Structure 1
Amino acid sequence: MTEKISFRSTSRTFEVGGRPFHALQNVDLDIADCEFVTVVGPSGCGKSTLLNIAAGLVEPTGGEVLVDSRPVRGPGPERGVIFQQYALFPWLTVRQNVEFGLQIAKVGRAERRRRAQHFIDLVGLTDFADALPRMLSGGMRQRCAIARAYAVDPGVLLMDEPFGALDALTRVQMQDQLLATWGSERRTVMFITHDVDEAVYLANRVVVMAARPGRVHEVIDVDLPYPRTEAVRLSPEFSRIRNRVWRAVYHQTPQEGASQ
């Protein structure tokens, strides 16, 4: 398949207390067009830094990241970013939030309304299109953020623990909603999570990171059928893959996770 995102010996060093901290070291990873990849790893392994470099929000100190074979030099409309915090404009309605990026892109009013309504319907917020964010639950706010990201038609969605603040039931519902949206409107997705079950349930592949310095420890294929259902989540094959990811994340040897 065609490579959509390519990390090439990507490294990032920060200065902490006057000393260098190697957040990422020589990360090599390819994510294919329309692939759903989740990234998990122990605390401090550089997951969010890796995503922020792909988003163009952080510059690498070594190597590079390519999107559509072009080096990332900063944020761009071809990459939609969704964070754990909802980042909605509280004074705008759901519809106005979803239309915001289209307005910035100078899309005509009628087309803005049509595209916004399509994605509002797709994420199940039809009855709340004229509601303000304060009137919505956490899961509904995150659905609005997903609709807003999709509306500007990015080729890539970069998601940094978008369901981390939700309760367990809402989180599962949001996973199903996200997969339904992805199934209908295919995009390349890079999804950061601390939750091993979530990582396996969503992904084509799970990337397990090792910490200090952050680097790819293992890439695990998830050979489970879509659409993912409760039956899939309860299957022996899901348990087998989940246990493999769990061991890769939480049972790395000191040599594998230590500073270098």
Structure 2
Amino acid sequence: MNTKISFQQTSCAFPVNGATFVAVDRVSLDIADREVVTVVGPSGCGKSTLLNMAAGLVNPTGGDVYVDGTPVREPGPERGVIFQQYALFPWLTVRANVEFGLTLQRGVGRAERRRRAQHFIDLVGLTDFADALPKTLSGGMRQRCAIARAYAVNPSILLMDEPFGALDALTRVQMQDQLLRAWSAEQRTIMFITHDVDEAVYLANRVVVMAARPGRIKEIIPVELPYPRSEAHRLSPEFAKIRNRVWHAVYHQTPEEEPAT
């Protein structure tokens, strides 16, 4: 497959109290077109900074980030970003929230906006709530609306920063299944940040384990489980084996370990 996102010796440092804090240190990683890559690691290891550089929200201080071979310098419509906070417009209905990004695109008429919005509202299972306001929705439903809104503007990449982190355990599992169903239908490239090892394994083609500060790649672990995935996969010996490997890589590391090459 073609490379969709490429980090090439990418670093990012910030000034903190008169010193330099290195959040990401010389990370090299290629993410293929239509691949789902999850990134997991200790708190403060640079996961979100890595995603923000891919989104164009933060500029690297060393190396570079490429999307489709072009250096990332700013946000772009080919990259949809979904954060832990739902960031919906509270005064707009589900349908109007999903349509919002389309109103900013030239050449997309009202009928086409409605058609595309309805497609993604149906895709994430909010058909019966299209005319509801966000305040009437559960947390999981609000996040589904945010995902539908990101999909509607037709990005080839979804960058997701702990989007299910605030949800209860059952809703979180349901959202994981919903995301995989949407991915199976639409086949976007997904970079997904999480603290949850089970979530990282369940969603991914590959799990990228970040090392403790400064943020580096400690290990990249393939997840050779077939799609579509289900509860049976979560309970399988194969899943347990991969989960244990990821868990050990995340929680049994020392600061002096060298980055993966």
Task: State the TM-score, normalized to the length of structure 2.
Answer: 0.98
Where do residues 1-260 of structure 1 align in structure 2 (5 Å cutoff)?
1-106=1-106, 107-256=108-257
Structure 2 CA distance, aligned partners of 1:198 and 1:72? 28
Q: Kindly indicate whether the alpha-carbon contact (under 8 Å) linking 2:95 and 2:117 is maintained by their aligned counterparts in 1.
A: yes
What count of residue pairs does the alignment treat as equivalent? 258
Residue 211 of structure 1 deviates from its aligned partner by 1.8
Q: Distance in 2 between matches of 1:41 and 1:35?
A: 20
- The Cα offsets for residues 158-209 of structure 1, whole Å up to 9 and x where unpaired, read as 0000000000000000000000000001100000000000000000000000
Post-superposition offset of 1:257: 8.2
Contact 2:26/2:216 (CA < 8 Å) preserved in 1?
A: yes
Aligned AA (2:137): L
Deviations 1:80-129 (A, max 9, x none): 00000000000000000000000011311000000000000000000000
Partners of 1:59 and 1:129 lie apart in 2 by: 37
Q: Describe the SS at the equivalent of 1:74.
A: coil
Residues 211-248 of structure 1, C-alpha deviations (whole Å, 9 max, x = no match): 21101110000000111100000000000000000000
Q: For residues 170 and 111 of structure 2, what CA distance do their matches in structure 1 show? A: 37
- Post-superposition Cα deviations, 1:32-86, rounded to whole Å, max 9, x if no partner, equal 0000000000111000000000000001100110000000010000000000000
Gaps of 5+ in 2: none
Residues of 2 paired with 1:26 and 1:163: CA distance? Answer: 28
Paired-residue identity, %: 79
Q: Is the 8 A contact 1:211 1:257 kept in 2?
A: no
Provide the rounded CA distance (Å) in 1 between the counterparts of 2:28 and 2:218. 11
Q: Distance in 1 between matches of 2:78 and 2:56?
A: 11
**Native 8 Å contact 1:34 1:189 kept in 2:** yes
Report if aligned partners of 2:143, 2:163 keep a CA contact under 8 Å in 1. yes
Write out the 4+ residue segments of structure 1 that deviate beyond 4 Å after TM superposition. none
Structure 1 residue 254: Cα displacement:
3.8
Give the 3-state SS of the residue equivalent to 1:7 in structure 2.
strand
Aligned-pair Cα RMSD in Å: 1.0
Could you tell me which amino acid in structure 1 is paired with residue 132 of structure 2? A
